[in-house]
């Protein structure tokens, strides 16, 4: 008996080692397995103390933990300092912050990546969908009203027969969406309360028109399209919390209005922007960005804009290759925006490529300075071998490379056929090269073939020299095979705006 009591005491003591901060469990390698055993459903955030995104998430994460705890839920939220618990971070493939994974049923081998928004309600909703039935059953009006009141977006299926083909299709659609609660009712009082006269699906939301009723054949695919087209506001503001919804959605064509909230005509321009958005629902996402917010300055920079140039409109496609478009007119009216978007959907717009003016001394230093306006004639000069660093002024890796790149330029400054150059890719764009990470190093060998060779060797003076002396063979790779290791800051940008949002 004494031995049994000792074992129990040790077990309790072991659990007691799992500290909590604002209802969030603090996990380490030493208590990680114990936490998974003690809590069958646990969401774990791998964070870095210095990460701005982690700091912004912290209050919402704690709020979600408190909400679930107050409900008596068995779902718990936890966090791991990935900069201290490096073994855990490596084990779960943490390469950016925050990384959030859901461990279900004590299973540690294959956690589910968290895929919803970063507000408390989003987190709680996602977790409940992951642990409960995809569709909740509403017994009466009070339950339906509570569901709608407690969620930014909620979907209710009105079906008299839960076994009908339409109801089954509805359940299949619900299973495919993690971040929105779905419910079903057959209660006459609920039908009456929400003025539904026949079997139907209604999306309730706390913005725009308030509700949308599905119209068409009840199939999983059509229901999914209906929900995705209506779950976001006509105009959504870009913030830390909305970024996952914006960039994780199916709509990859985004029109952005850069406008200071403090502007005297702010509401008028927002009304115009929203009016234009009505005609492109489900095809183009309309996004507002407060151009006065410091955290948004990198986005302005990415589009070649300065605060004093706002308000401004830009359009971007977030496919494998990002393409930007700029309207001919600076006018922000529903008519001008509608015309711009229509030309885009009809494929009649030409991409907008940024370029700085050519510096007067661009070729006076050992490392030549390239911009969009002189890139073509220099890089593809058939008599020259041109080695180019595509960089970003804020990139840590680029700053580390700078002195080595300068030495390389010095080494070849008197060469008759070799040029070492650099281009600020945050201010200059070219059709021939798409830059997705920094620094990107590419070699343009002499000749008429317009070849492009990626450099994947060591970033040392010796490595660069061997590469150039071998004609791009020593440390080279065919263009497009580069798998550069982004720094933590750039990884976070990649998650949101393909390496530009921070």
> Catalytic amino acids?
51, 54, 395, 398
Long-range pairs of 260-269 with CB within 8 A, sequence gap ≥ 24: 260/290, 260/291, 260/292, 260/307, 260/310, 260/311, 261/290, 261/292, 262/292, 263/311, 269/311, 269/332
DSSP 357: P
How far is residue 193's CA from residue 403's CA, in Å, rounded to a whole number? 71
> Phi first, then psi: what are they for 410, rounded to 5°?
-60, -40
> Phi first, then psi: what are they for 152, rounded to 5°?
-60, -40
Q: With helix as H, strand as E and coil as C, how does 122-160 read?
A: HHHHHHHHHHCCCEEECCCHHHHHHHHHHCCEEEEEECC
Structure tokens at 125: 């909703």
DSSP 458: -
How far is residue 376's CA from residue 358's CA, in Å, rounded to a whole number? 12
Q: How far is CA 205 from the centre of its chain?
A: 23
**Could you tell me whether strands 41-47 and 75-81 are parallel, antiparallel, or unpaired per DSSP bridges?**
parallel
C-alpha angle 260-266-270 in degrees, rounded to nearest 5: 110
Instruction: Answer yes or no: are the C-beta atoms of 108 and 74 closer than 8 Å.
Output: no
**In terms of Cα–Cα distance, which of 376, 390, 409, 387 is closest to 471?**
387
The 3-state DSSP class for residue 253 equals strand
CB atoms within 10 A of CB 75: 23
How far is residue 365's CA from residue 367's CA, in Å, rounded to a whole number? 5
Cis? peptide before 272, omega within 30° of 0: no
Q: How far is CA 344 from the centre of its chain?
A: 23
DSSP 292: T
**In terms of Cα–Cα distance, which of 212, 157, 154, 203 is closest to 179?**
154
How far is residue 371's CA from residue 115's CA, in Å, rounded to a whole number? 38
- Which parts of 180-295 fold into alpha helices (H)? 188-193, 220-230, 243-248, 266-277
**Greatest distance between any 2 Cα atoms in the chain:** 89
Contacts of 210 (CB under 8 A, 6+ apart): 204
């Amino acid at each position: 008996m004494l031995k049994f009591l000792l074992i129990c005491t040790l077990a309790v003591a072991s659990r007691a080692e799992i500290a909590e901060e604002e209802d969030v469990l603090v996990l380490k390698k030493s208590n990680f397995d114990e936490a998974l055993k003690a809590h069958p459903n646990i969401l774990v955030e791998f964070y870095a103390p210095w990460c701005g995104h982690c700091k912004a998430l912290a209050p919402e994460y704690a709020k979600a933990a408190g909400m679930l705890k107050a409900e008596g839920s068995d779902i718990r939220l936890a966090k791991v300092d990935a900069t201290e618990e490096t073994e855990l971070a490596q084990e779960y493939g943490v390469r950016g912050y925050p990384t959030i994974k859901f461990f279900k049923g004590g299973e540690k081998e294959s956690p589910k990546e968290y895929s919803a928004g970063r507000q408390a309600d989003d987190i709680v909703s996602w977790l409940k969908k992951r642990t409960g039935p995809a569709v909740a059953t509403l017994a009466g009006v009070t339950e339906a009203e509570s569901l709608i009141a407690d969620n930014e977006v909620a979907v209710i299926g009105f079906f008299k027969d839960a076994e009908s083909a339409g109801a089954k299709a509805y359940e299949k659609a619900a299973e495919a969406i993690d971040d929105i609660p779905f419910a079903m009712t057959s209660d006459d009082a609920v039908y009456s309360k929400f003025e539904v006269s026949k079997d139907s699906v209604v999306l309730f939301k706390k913005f725009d028109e308030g509700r949308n009723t599905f119209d068409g054949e009840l199939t999983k695919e059509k229901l999914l399209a209906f929900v995705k087209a209506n779950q976001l506001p006509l105009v959504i503001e870009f913030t830390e919390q909305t970024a996952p919804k914006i960039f994780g959605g199916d709509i990859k064509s985004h029109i952005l209005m850069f406008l200071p909230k403090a502007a005297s005509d702010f509401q008028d321009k927002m009304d115009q922007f929203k009016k234009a958005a009505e005609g492109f629902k489900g095809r183009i996402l309309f996004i507002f960005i407060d151009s006065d917010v410091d955290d948004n300055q990198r986005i302005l920079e990415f589009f070649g804009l300065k605060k004093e140039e706002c308000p401004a409109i830009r359009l971007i496609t977030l496919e494998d290759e990002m393409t930007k478009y700029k309207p001919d007119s600076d006018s922000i009216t529903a008519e001008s925006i509608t015309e711009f978007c229509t030309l885009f959907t009809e494929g009649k717009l030409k991409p907008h490529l940024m370029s700085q003016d050519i510096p007067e001394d661009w070729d006076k230093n050992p490392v030549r300075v390239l911009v969009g306006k002189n890139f073509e004639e220099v890089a593809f000069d058939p008599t020259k071998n041109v080695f180019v660093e595509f960089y970003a002024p804020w990139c840590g890796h680029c700053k580390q490379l700078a002195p080595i790149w300068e030495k390389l330029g010095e080494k070849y400054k008197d060469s008759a056929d070799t040029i070492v150059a650099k281009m600020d890719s945050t201010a200059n764009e070219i059709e021939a090269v798409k830059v997705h990470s920094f620094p990107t190093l590419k070699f343009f060998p002499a000749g008429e073939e317009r070849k492009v060779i990626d450099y994947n060797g060591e970033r040392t003076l010796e490595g660069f020299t061997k590469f150039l002396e071998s004609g791009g063979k020593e440390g080279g790779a065919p263009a497009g095979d580069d798998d550069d290791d982004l720094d933590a800051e750039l990884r976070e940008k990649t998650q949101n705006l393909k390496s530009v949002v921070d």
